[in-house]
Amino acid sequence: MSNLIYLLLRRLRSPLITLILVYAISMTGYVMIPGEDGNHDPYQMSFFDAFYFVSFMGTTIGFGEIPYEFTQEQRYWTLVCLYATVISWLYGVGSLLNVFQDPAFRQQIKINSFKRSVSRIRQPFYLICGYGETGRMLVNDLAEDGILSVILDPEEGPINELEVNDLAISPLWLKADASDAQILEIAGINHRCCSGIISLANNDRVNLTIAIVAQLLNKNVRLIARADSQESESNILSFGANEVINPFETFASRLALAIHSPALHLIYEWTTGSRDKRVDEIYTPKNGKWIICGFGDFGRAAYRYLDEIGETLCVIEPDRNRRDLPSGTVIGRPTEAATLKKAGIDEAVGIIAGTGNDPDNLSVLMTAFEINQNIFRIAHQNEEKNQPIFEAANLDLVMRRGNLISDKIFALIRTPLLGDFLRIVSRFKKARANILASRMIGVMGNDFPELWELTVDKKTTPALFSRLEQSQVLVKDLLRHPDDRDQSIQAIMLFLKRGDGNVMLPEDNRIVHKGDRFLMCGNRQAHHNIQITTRNDQYLQYVLTGKLLPDSWVWKKIIAYKEQLEARKS
Amino acid sequence: MRTEKVVFAFFIVLALTLNFGFFLGDLSNPLHHDVYELFAAIVVSLIATVLKFGDRTHLGSVFLATSLVADLQLIFAAIIWGINSQPGLPLEADTLATIVSLSGGALLANIISVILLVSETVNLRR
C-alpha cells in the first residue's frame, strides 16, 4: 500500500508545486490591488476573500465578483489569474489520470490487492505457476473438488479469462513472472495454508527456475513440476521436486505398458487417468513393426520405450540436418505415401504421428490408413482446440498433453501417497500386476475407482485414534462393515506408509499404528463406511467386538442393572 | 552540487526564516506581526511539504512529518485570523497572541526539519 502512495506523491510533485505557486501569486495580487466597496469607498480584499475568489475561479465554478464588484485593475488581474489557475488545474488532473493509466502503477495496484487477498486465505490452497491449457484443466478440477488455487502467469492469454470465470471456488490470480522470488512470496509460498506448488510453464527452463526458487524459499512445500525433456526432468528432481511429470515419457511408458503388461497399464489408467471414461479393456496391437513419424520430444520418448520392450521400429523425420537420429531412419515428409511405403507401412502393426503440427499428424494417419487398413494409429494432439477433429478422425489412441498432465497432477494432489505407490507398482512382474488389477476391479464395481487416504490421527479418525490407546486394531477389522461386521467393506488397502517405511498391500493381520497413512481403493460407499467406523466410537466398538453399546444415559443404566442381575443369578 | 538539493534546502530554510520573522516581536502587538509574512510562510511551508513527498527512507518520513506539523499549525493560525478579523479593524490582542503562539509551534517543527537537514548533510561522506 505504502508503495502506491509514494509512487503517486512522487509523480504529483511538480503539478502540486505549480498549483501552490499559482494560487499564492494570484492571492497576493488580489490582496494588494486596491478595490472599492458598493459605495465607491476604498476596500482592500482580505486573504480570506482572495482565497475564496481564487478557489472558485480556478475550478471554473465562478460565483461572480465577490465581495464587491471589481474595479478595472482587479479585472485585468483576474484575466491573468483565470488562465493561469485553470491551466495549472488541468495540468494537475492530467498528471493524476496519467499516473492511474501508468502500467507500472496499475500492476502495483493489482499486486497489492492480490497480496491482500492471499494473506486473507484461511483454507489450504495450491500455487499454480503457468496457466495454459493444462493449468486451466487442473484449476477446473481443483475448483470442482473444493480446492482453492492461486495462479501466476506472466503472459497475456487464458489468464485473462479468469476475470469472468464461473468456477465453484474462484481462484486468485496475478499476471506476473513466477520465477521471481518476490512474486512467489507475495503469492504465498510461505503461507501456512500453502499445500504445494505446481509448475506448469511451457518452458523447461522456467520450470527449473521456479523449482530452485521455491526450494530455496520454502523447503517443506510440496513441489510438482512439468518437464518436457528427460534432462530437465532429472535436473528438476535433483532440486528437490517431489514429482516431475513429463507428458511424453508418461504417455510413451503407458503405451509400452499397454503392449507389454496390460494389467499395469490399467492400474495406471484407473489411478491417474481421465475421469470421463473408464478404460477397462485394452486392445493390444500384436508385436511387430512400428513407425514413428517425427523425432522430437514425443517421438524420442516413444522410440526409447518401444525399443526397450523389443519392438521393431522405423523413424521418419523430415529434417535431414538432424544428427541424433537412430539408424535406419527414413528421411522425408511423412505425409506422403511414398515415404510411408519406404518405411514399410505395409507390414507395420502401428504408426505414431508425433510431429508438432496437428494437421500434419492427422494427414499422416489418414494416408497410412488408406495404405494399410489394419494399422494401429496413435496421434499426438498439440492444441486443445483441435479436439473435435481428432475425435472425428476415430483414431485408436490420442495423446493429449494437457489432459495427461492435469489428470496426473490432480490424482497426486488428492492422494499424495499415489506417487510412492506407483513407483513401487511399476516394478511389478506381470503376474503380480494381474492379481492387483483383478482385486481392484473386485472392489470398485462398475464405477470409477475411488482412491483416498486414510490417516490415523486425532483430526480425521478420532474414534480409531483414541481406541488405539486402549487396544490393538488389525487392518482387517477396519474393513468390516459398520452395519454387519461379518460382511466386509468393498475396499482394499493398496499401500501403507509408516514413517519412512512403505508396505505394499498390507496383509490382513497387520497391526494399525498411530500416524499410519493408508492408500485406499474402493467405491464411494466403501469410503463413506470406513469414515463412519473410524470416526464414531459406537460403530468402532461394534466392528471390533460385536457388542452394541447404548447411546443414552438411561439405557446405559438399564444395561448395567441387567448385567448386575445376571451376575447375581449366576 | 545538485540543483534538486539546492532547491530542497532552500525551501526548508526559507520556511524556517519566514516563520521566525513572523513569530519575532511582542506576542500581542499587531504592529510586530505582518499578515503577508504569515501568508508567505504558509505557501513556502506547503511547497517544502510537496518537495518532501515520495522519499521512502526513514529520514524522508520524519522530514515529511515535521513539515506536515508546521503546515497544520500555520493553517490553523490563518483560519483563526480569518474568522476573527473585521474589515478595517486591527486584531484583538488575545486573538493575535493565539495566532503567534501557534506559529511558534510551527517554528519548532521547522527548526527540527532544519536540524535533520544539517545532520543529513554532515553525515554525507564525500
Q: Please report the pLDDT score of residue B20 as a whole number.
A: 94
The answer to whether A7 contacts B35, with C-beta atoms less than 8 Å apart, is no
Chain A contact for B87 (CB, 8 A cutoff):
yes
Write b or e for each residue in A59-91: b if 16 or more Cβ atoms lie within 10 A of its Cβ, otherwise e: eeeeeeeeebebbeebeebbeebbebbeebbee
CATH code: domain A252-398 is 3.40.50.720
The answer to whether B54 contacts A7, with C-beta atoms less than 8 Å apart, is yes
Task: Quote the cell numbers at residue A121.
Answer: 486465505
Confidence band (pLDDT; 50, 70, 90) for A398? confident
Q: Residue range B60-80: average pLDDT?
A: 93
Backbone angles phi, psi at A44, to 5 degrees: -105, 125
**Number of domains comprising chain B:** 1
Q: Residue range A500-505: average pLDDT?
A: 86
Q: Please report the pLDDT score of residue A532 as a whole number.
A: 87
Q: Residue range A323-344: average pLDDT?
A: 83
Q: Please report the pLDDT score of residue A198 as a whole number.
A: 92
The answer to whether A20 contacts B56, with C-beta atoms less than 8 Å apart, is no
Nearest CA in chain B to A19: B47
Out of A256-265, A281-290, A386-395, A446-455, pick the least confident: A281-290
Q: Which H or E run includes A351? A: strand A348-353
Distances (CA, A) of A329 to A214, A360, A367, B15: 42, 19, 19, 85
Q: Residue range A17-24: average pLDDT?
A: 94
More confident residue, A111 or A538: A111
Chain A contact for B84 (CB, 8 A cutoff):
no
Render pLDDT for A206-255 as a digit per residue (tens, 0 to 9): 888 888 888 888 888 888 998 888 888 888 888 877 788 888 888 888 88
Q: Residue range A336-341: average pLDDT?
A: 85
The C-alpha torsion from A130 through A133 and A136 to A137, rounded to 10°, is -130
Task: Quote the cell numbers at residue A354.
Answer: 508425433
The answer to whether A9 contacts B54, with C-beta atoms less than 8 Å apart, is yes
Q: Residue range B27-43: average pLDDT?
A: 90
Backbone angles phi, psi at A510, to 5 degrees: -75, 145
Q: How far is B1 from chain A (nearest CA, A)?
A: 21
Nearest CA in chain B to A7: B54
Task: Quote the cell numbers at residue A100.
Answer: 492511474
Out of A187-196, A270-279, A506-515, B102-111, pick the least confident: A270-279
Confidence band (pLDDT; 50, 70, 90) for A422? confident
Q: Which H or E run includes A93? A: helix A72-101
Alpha-helical (H) ranges within A176-229 are 181-186, 204-217
Render pLDDT for A427-481 as a digit per residue (tens, 0 to 9): 888 888 888 888 888 887 777 778 888 888 888 888 888 888 888 888 888 888 8
> Using CA atoms, how far apart are residues A110 and A176, in angstroms rounded to an integer?
10
Chain B hits for A20, CB-CB cut-off 8 Å, are 43, 46-47, 50
Query: Cis peptide leading into A67, omega within 30 of 0?
Result: yes
Chain A contact for B51 (CB, 8 A cutoff):
yes
The answer to whether A20 contacts B50, with C-beta atoms less than 8 Å apart, is yes
Q: Please report the pLDDT score of residue B107 as a whole number.
A: 95
Q: How many CB atoms lie within 10 A of CB A183?
A: 19
Confidence band (pLDDT; 50, 70, 90) for A395? confident
Q: Please report the pLDDT score of residue B126 as a whole number.
A: 53
Confidence band (pLDDT; 50, 70, 90) for A300? confident
Look at residue A360 and tell me whether its pLDDT is greater than 80: yes
The answer to whether B82 contacts A13, with C-beta atoms less than 8 Å apart, is no
Render pLDDT for A366-394 as a digit per residue (tens, 0 to 9): 888 888 888 888 888 888 888 888 888 88
Q: Please report the pLDDT score of residue A2 as a whole number.
A: 61
Domain with CATH 1.10.287 in chain A: 2-101
Look at residue A320 and tell me whether its pLDDT is greater than 90: no
Q: Please report the pLDDT score of residue A425 as a whole number.
A: 87
Q: Cell match 514413517: residue?
A: A499
The answer to whether A47 contacts B53, with C-beta atoms less than 8 Å apart, is no
Look at residue B125 and tell me whether its pLDDT is greater than 70: no
Render pLDDT for A66-111 as a digit per residue (tens, 0 to 9): 888 899 999 999 999 999 999 999 999 999 999 888 888 888 889 9
Confidence band (pLDDT; 50, 70, 90) for B105? very high
Q: Please report the pLDDT score of residue B10 as a whole number.
A: 93
Q: Cell match 528432481: residue?
A: A237
Confidence band (pLDDT; 50, 70, 90) for A60? confident
Look at residue B14 and tell me whether its pLDDT is greater than 80: yes
Q: Please report the pLDDT score of residue A273 as a whole number.
A: 78
Look at residue A525 and tell me whether its pLDDT is greater than 90: no
Instruction: Give percent of chain A above pLDDT 70.
Output: 98
Confidence band (pLDDT; 50, 70, 90) for A330? confident
The answer to whether B47 contacts A47, with C-beta atoms less than 8 Å apart, is no
Q: How far is B7 from chain A (nearest CA, A)?
A: 12
- Residue contacts between A and B (CB atoms, under 8 Å): 45
Q: Please report the pLDDT score of residue B13 as a whole number.
A: 94
Q: Cell match 482572495: residue?
A: A50
Q: Which CATH architecture has domain A2-101?
A: Orthogonal Bundle (1.10)
Burial class (CB in 10 A: 0-12, 13-18, 19+), A409: buried
**CATH assignment of A426-545, given 3.30.70.1450, 3.20.20.140, 3.40.640.10, 3.30.70.980?**
3.30.70.1450
The answer to whether B51 contacts A17, with C-beta atoms less than 8 Å apart, is yes
Nearest CA in chain A to B50: A13
Backbone angles phi, psi at A158, to 5 degrees: -55, -25
Domain with CATH 3.40.50.720 in chain A: 122-245, 252-398
Domain holding B58, by residue range, is 3-123
Give the total residue count for chain A: 570
Render pLDDT for A114-166 as a digit per residue (tens, 0 to 9): 999 999 999 999 999 988 888 888 898 899 888 999 999 888 777 888 888 78
Interface test with B, best of A11, A12, A17, A43 (most B CBs within 10 A): A17
Render pLDDT for A29-52 as a digit per residue (tens, 0 to 9): 999 999 998 888 888 888 889 999
Q: Please report the pLDDT score of residue A214 as a whole number.
A: 86
Q: Which CATH architecture has domain A122-245?
A: 3-Layer(aba) Sandwich (3.40)
Instruction: Give percent of chain A above pLDDT 90.
Output: 15
Distances (CA, A) of A453 to A161, A421, A493, A496, A544: 34, 12, 10, 10, 21
Chain A contact for B4 (CB, 8 A cutoff):
no
Chain B hits for A48, CB-CB cut-off 8 Å, are 82, 85
Closest CA to A132 of A99, A106, A161: A161
Q: Please report the pLDDT score of residue A31 as a whole number.
A: 92
Q: Please report the pLDDT score of residue B5 as a whole number.
A: 85
